[in-house]
């Protein structure tokens, strides 16, 4: 993870969107492109994306949101399915004054990003999918790994997170235990109920039957040592999404953070490229 930190420059606030409190962080940018909406993984608070935001640089404005039940956003009364989360995101962008944005989703958040791009094609210009798959119909990770995901313990106990990170996420965390300790130290646990609500919100969801209808230029990033979402899923998505580019990197599930210095320029190049240079 990069050592730089620009958190002090982010505008962090809590807003009310249709009765749901959401914590958002807006990192100003100085470029002329679209703002980039970042959607994090299962149970992961927005601060965990800071290494990537730092590496991305100040040319692209970024919007991070703690979805319900994560970080600084309380859990809703009942689980929210992905279509409902996409609608909530659209309402959030309306309230913040954004129209069309680029969207990046990692892991669980990659599923939400797919749903948003499908449900609101006029609000999503370009799509970046990281360490993610097509939901219920996909090639699953190792059973021992998926069983650990069923519990929020890793977010409640930093020492436990540090001890299992290499086995769970793979990649650079295997050879760099200090990265696991740093990641664990940046976790801010949300509502335990919110974690289970996120799991239920994704249950049975799949994008596999409509991915071929996505029209946004899409960059797909997958770690070669991803133990949660095997990279074969990225190859499948690249075949299904018409205007897609696949990049497999040498890292694990959290490569967007642990290899941020390598991946941020790839994402930045994709987001800033002229339309006629994209697939």
Residue 168 domain flag: no
- Please tell me the predicted confidence (pLDDT) of residue 3: 43
Residue 39 domain flag: yes
Residue 160 domain flag: no
Domains identified in the chain, total number: 1
Residue 151 domain flag: no
Structure tokens at 26: 């807006």
Residue 169 domain flag: no
Residue 185 domain flag: no
- Please tell me the predicted confidence (pLDDT) of residue 191: 75
Dihedral of alpha carbons 87, 112, 198, 65, sign: negative
pTM for the whole thing?
0.95
Residue 261 domain flag: yes
The conformational region for residue 178 under phi > 0 = left, psi -120 to 50 = alpha, else beta, is alpha
Query: Does the active-site annotation cover 107?
Result: yes
Per-residue pLDDT of the chain (279 residues; tens, 9 = 90+): 544 444 447 899 999 999 999 999 999 998 778 999 999 999 999 999 999 999 999 899 999 999 999 999 999 999 999 999 999 999 999 999 999 999 999 999 999 999 999 999 999 999 999 999 999 999 999 899 999 999 999 888 888 998 999 999 999 999 888 888 888 888 877 778 999 999 999 999 999 999 999 999 999 999 999 999 999 999 999 999 999 999 999 999 999 999 999 999 999 999 999 999 898
Q: Considering 3, 13, 73, 107, which one is annotated as catalytic?
A: 107
The boundaries of the domain holding residue 103 are 7-143+191-274
Question: Which CATH number characterizes residue 112's domain?
Answer: 3.40.50.1820
CA angle 47, 54, 65 (to 5 degrees): 35
Residue 136 domain flag: yes
């Amino acid at each position: 993870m990069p050592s730089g930190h620009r958190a002090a420059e982010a505008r962090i606030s809590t807003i009310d969107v249709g009765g749901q409190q959401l914590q958002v962080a807006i990192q100003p940018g100085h470029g002329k492109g679209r703002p980039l909406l970042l959607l994090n993984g299962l149970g992961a608070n927005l601060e965990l994306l800071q290494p990537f935001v730092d590496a991305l640089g100040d040319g692209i404005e970024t919007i991070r949101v703690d979805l319900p039940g994560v970080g600084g956003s309380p859990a809703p009364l009942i689980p929210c399915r992905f279509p409902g989360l996409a609608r909530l995101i659209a309402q959030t962008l309306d309230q913040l004054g954004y129209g069309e944005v680029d969207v990046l989703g990692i892991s669980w958040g990659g599923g939400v990003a797919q749903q948003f791009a499908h449900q609101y094609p006029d609000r999503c210009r370009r799509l970046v999918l990281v360490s993610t798959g097509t939901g219920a119909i996909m090639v699953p990770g190792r059973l021992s790994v998926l069983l650990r995901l069923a519990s929020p313990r890793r977010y409640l106990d930093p020492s436990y997170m540090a001890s299992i990170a290499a086995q769970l996420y793979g990649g650079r965390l295997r050879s760099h235990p200090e990265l696991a300790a740093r990641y664990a130290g940046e976790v801010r646990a949300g509502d335990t109920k919110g974690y289970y609500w996120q799991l239920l919100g994704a249950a049975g969801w799949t994008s596999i039957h409509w991915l071929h209808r996505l029209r946004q230029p899409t960059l797909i990033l997958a770690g070669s040592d991803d133990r949660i979402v095997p990279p074969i899923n990225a190859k499948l998505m690249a075949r299904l999404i018409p205007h897609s580019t696949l990049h497999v990197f040498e890292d694990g599930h959290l490569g967007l953070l642990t290899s941020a210095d390598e991946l941020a320029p790839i994402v930045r190049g994709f987001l800033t490229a002229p339309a006629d240079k994209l697939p």
